[in-house]
Amino acid sequence: MQPVLDFLKKNEEWFVQELCDYIRYPSISAQPEHKEDLVQCARWLCAHCEGIGLNAEVFETPGNPIVIARTYLERSKDRPHFLVYGHYDVQQPEPLELGKSPPFEPRIEGRSLFGRGACDNKGQHFAHLKAVEAYLKTGTEIPCDITFLIEGEEEVGCTNLQPFLQAHREELLCDAIVVSDTGIPSLRHPALTYALRGITAVEITVHGPSRDLHSGIYGGAVQNPAMALCQLLVGLRDKNGKVTIPGFYKDVVPLSAFEKKQLARIPFKEKELTEFLGVPKLFGERGFTATERRSARPTFEINGLTSGYQGDGSKTIVPAWARAKVTMRLVPNQKPEKITALVQKHLKKICPPGVRLEVAAGHGGEAYMVSPTSPLAKAALRSLKAAFGCEPILLREGGSIPIVNDFKRILGVDTILLGLALPDDNPHSPNEKFDLDAFSKGMALGALLWPELTSTARR
Amino acid sequence: MQPVLDFLKKNEEWFVQELCDYIRYPSISAQPEHKEDLVQCARWLCAHCEGIGLNAEVFETPGNPIVIARTYLERSKDRPHFLVYGHYDVQQPEPLELGKSPPFEPRIEGRSLFGRGACDNKGQHFAHLKAVEAYLKTGTEIPCDITFLIEGEEEVGCTNLQPFLQAHREELLCDAIVVSDTGIPSLRHPALTYALRGITAVEITVHGPSRDLHSGIYGGAVQNPAMALCQLLVGLRDKNGKVTIPGFYKDVVPLSAFEKKQLARIPFKEKELTEFLGVPKLFGERGFTATERRSARPTFEINGLTSGYQGDGSKTIVPAWARAKVTMRLVPNQKPEKITALVQKHLKKICPPGVRLEVAAGHGGEAYMVSPTSPLAKAALRSLKAAFGCEPILLREGGSIPIVNDFKRILGVDTILLGLALPDDNPHSPNEKFDLDAFSKGMALGALLWPELTSTARR
């Protein structure tokens, strides 16, 4: 292993230059005028993988191409097989006026590499590619087969990934999937993200009169749909932040003492977070810490309210209707469809008189969880400790990463999330950067990972 | 009196033609391109009044002119003086595509005269002018002095009326004011509107985080401002339609048994109103009839809600802020400023944690009431009975007419509201019409009124 790590160290500066070449492609998947840039970026990546010594290929899809790069020519039945997932497409760079330098002209300042896509996700999967390159260039045997799957539509919903996984299921079947696309609190807190929250969206519309009514002439004679909506919404979450939909918490697996202890290790400064978010004080479900509430507890959030007159001044009407957009973050074992049904049932029960209720189910996605004490998790934690030189922490992330559920459903395997993004990396904001120490440690992680993961694989 | 009534009857068809001439002026005060049409309309009206035999004058204002027409050359100290108020400006006629004929080309169909302004308000004050013409043309002595004040900015807030009243206060001082600009349930229900509701507007803004937050990353850690707003709003009105702001009802004068009985005489068909408004059922403050709730009880209405994402689909955010526009209809003796202060105090008290509350006071206007058993009201009721040939009813109107408060404040007198508009006259909608029987009975009312009102005036 030492030659691999030495190679990575020795060539680090050169690898940063290569990463800069990669970042120069404006591979913005949300903007149709960049379609050709995505194609060019995929071709460059494929050629780069070939240059490293991988067996690489560009697959066309109805959308942007998918790059596959393999450490093998033919899969060996005796060796475990792991998949590394990443994406070469990037978020829009707008608003450009807030950027300190052009987003596709990489710039190094201290240990920060600025550029759109530097962190999300080019830099992160590039570290894994370089680690494998180090194995190949130093003649060190990789103890497993590795397939890189780098797609170009992550920022626009991974539309063509599912069909691709289904079409190439046989080839892609593997023991586990590695994804570096999450965050860590600091370089002293390398982390395995072992759980993600799910989500379910609901749109609640309360219909009152057939048109906006003059509040002088009719006010007092009819229910106000906006008030009825407020009454419905406060019937769903109480003043202590607890969701009051009957059955909502039924399937929630309580946090174990071990998990609570692990989550308490995540650095958290209440005053700093309060100031960063600009709120008078933090708030959430009573009986849980802020870290637990953000990542390991389900939530009920109103995302938007619309009713009646919204312009300047006032308009004296009883509005015809009122609408709330709502999403609930779910935790492992809660099923989106079941929760949506509970919401619908409860709303029907508590609907005030004089209005008509309409509840539309929106998108949903299940939560995700890998046991933090599984052999796979333990192997990942050992690699993190060796690469970063300190004790890793166990994270649960509050958001969702839908592809991990697709991997589980289609390929039947777990994903280990080993993020390299720091809290100030601005992945979807102006001035995105990637920390070069994170890159360096990420490459070491990418090297140390394969023997550890291989040791867990049952053949 | 009979010659006067005969004259009106005999010339009715001709008067309708004159009214059509008046309606042909597109005197739309809200549209600057019609400024000259308003001037022309005022001039026509002034000339018409002169032709009748009145002493008429056009007064320039910073906005549209005001027409003054007097039955006297010099005020007699021995005779009572009454003011008839009306307005020659009209609402915008848009959307034109919904009109069955051009709005400024009057059209008669059966007993309906269609045209913008036919009912609101040209036809209604024209009936009073014709009644006075009948006195003058038949040589019948008018027992009082009458001044017509016809303005051109009623539909845009009567901006220049107040300064005009103040500037001409001496000349305009009178015993009472007559306004025909309200409605009646049917020609078999002529009415004196003896009370109007007041209003106070409040804008409630709940500030949460300094920007919209990702609901996955931060959901659970902070208060949701939209939810906090809903909690605040449901703290202001309960499920039975009762306002729960402490002190809100304190100054409300309870409806007397006489008033309740009078309001119960107003024709009301629950099924018809429900269908007309398009609601599943009527709703309002428990313990009061729909008629009472619409006209004689204060209300709390949300006029608009705004928060977070309002577009298609969903956006998983905790919104930075949420806002409600609210108006409360007030009844006589409730003071707008006092109610606004009560709202602010109560909101402050019940504000959920984790957000910052902002309450902005908007416009306000006091309710209005003339005793329905005063000599003035009784005189008006006698005139109505004689003109319409049936027992009049006593109405309270749910909306506000701010000028009556100006009259009271500046001239110190009561206004009697004797509306001629029928429920299907569409005053602010396409296809406005004026009922020719209402016009006919309105002219008779205009003739019969003066001896009755004069009998009440203390000299």
pLDDT tens-digit series, residues A87-107: 999 998 888 888 899 999 999
Nearest to residue A64, comparing CAs of A150, A148, A128? A150
The enclosing H or E element of A403 equals helix A402-406
Adjacent-strand bridge partners of A149: A68, A85
Q: Does B156 touch chain A (CB under 8 A)?
A: no
Please report, for residues B327, B393, B434, B442, the alpha-carbon distance to residue B385 in angstroms, rounded to integers and kept in the order given: 37, 9, 21, 12
- The share of chain B scoring above pLDDT 90, in percent, equals 90
Tokens matching residue B267: 């024709």
Q: How confident is the model at residue B98 (pLDDT cuts 50, 70, 90)?
A: confident
Shortest distance, CA B121 to any CA of chain A (angstroms): 18
Q: Quick one: pLDDT at residue B458?
A: 65
Mean pLDDT, residues A214-218:
91
Which of A197-206, A208-217, B79-88, B347-356 shows the lowest per-residue confidence on average (mean pLDDT)?
A208-217
Q: Quick one: pLDDT at residue B191?
A: 97
Mean pLDDT, residues B192-214:
95
* Residue ranges with strand state E in B309-436: 317-318, 321-330, 356-365, 368-369, 393-397, 415-417, 433-435
Q: Is the pLDDT of residue A177 over 80?
A: yes
Q: Quick one: pLDDT at residue A378?
A: 97
Shortest distance, CA B317 to any CA of chain A (angstroms): 5
Residues of A in contact with B355 (CB under 8 A): 279-280
Test A211 with B278 for CB contact under 8 angstroms.
Answer: yes
Q: Does B213 touch chain A (CB under 8 A)?
A: yes
pLDDT tens-digit series, residues B126-166: 999 999 999 999 999 999 999 999 999 998 888 899 999 99
Q: Does B286 touch chain A (CB under 8 A)?
A: no
Test B302 with A227 for CB contact under 8 angstroms.
Answer: yes
Which residue does chain A place closest to B210, by CA atoms?
A278
Q: Quick one: pLDDT at residue A92?
A: 87
Q: Is the pLDDT of residue A203 over 90?
A: yes
Average predicted confidence (pLDDT) for chain A: 96
Q: Is the pLDDT of residue B430 over 90?
A: no
Q: Is the pLDDT of residue B109 over 60?
A: yes
Measured between alpha carbons, how far is A169 from A81 in angstroms, rounded to an integer? 13
pLDDT tens-digit series, residues B43-60: 999 999 999 999 999 999
Residues of B in contact with A354 (CB under 8 A): 279-283
Q: Quick one: pLDDT at residue A314?
A: 83
pLDDT tens-digit series, residues A344-392: 999 999 999 999 999 999 988 999 999 999 999 999 999 999 999 999 9
Say which of A203, A219, A355 has its CB closest to residue B301.
Answer: A219
Shortest distance, CA B116 to any CA of chain A (angstroms): 20
Measured between alpha carbons, how far is A184 from A427 in angstroms, rounded to an integer? 13
Mean pLDDT, residues A393-413:
93
Q: Is the pLDDT of residue A161 over 80?
A: yes
> What does the angle CA A183 – CA A186 – CA A187 come to, to the nearest 5 degrees?
105
Residues of A in contact with B315 (CB under 8 A): 303-304, 325
Interface subset of A 101-140, CB within 8 angstroms of B: none
pLDDT tens-digit series, residues B237-255: 999 999 999 999 999 999 9
Buried b (16+ CB within 10 A) or exposed e, A163-191: ebbeebeeebebbbbbbbbbbbbebebbb
Query: What backbone phi and psi angles, to 5 degrees, belong to B119?
Result: -95, -40
Q: Quick one: pLDDT at residue A48?
A: 98
Q: Quick one: pLDDT at residue A156?
A: 87
Measured between alpha carbons, how far is A150 from B62 in angstroms, rounded to an integer? 71
Mean pLDDT, residues A234-241:
97
Test B325 with A303 for CB contact under 8 angstroms.
Answer: no
> What does the angle CA B111 – CA B114 – CA B117 come to, to the nearest 5 degrees?
125
Q: Is the pLDDT of residue A459 over 80?
A: no
| Count of beta carbons in the 10 Å neighbourhood of residue B287 | 11
Nearest to residue A232, comparing CAs of A363, A353, A334? A353
Q: Is the pLDDT of residue A414 over 90?
A: yes
Test B227 with A313 for CB contact under 8 angstroms.
Answer: no
Task: Domains for chain A: give ranges and CATH numbers.
Answer: 2-196+367-456 (3.40.630.10), 198-252+298-365 (3.30.70.360)
Q: Which residue has the tokens 């956006």?
A: B315
Q: Quick one: pLDDT at residue A96?
A: 87
Q: Quick one: pLDDT at residue B459?
A: 54
Query: What backbone phi and psi angles, to 5 degrees, belong to B202?
Result: -140, 140
Q: Does A95 touch chain B (CB under 8 A)?
A: no
Which of A90-94, A267-271, B4-8, B121-125 shows the lowest per-residue confidence on average (mean pLDDT)?
A90-94
The ipTM (two decimal places) reads 0.89
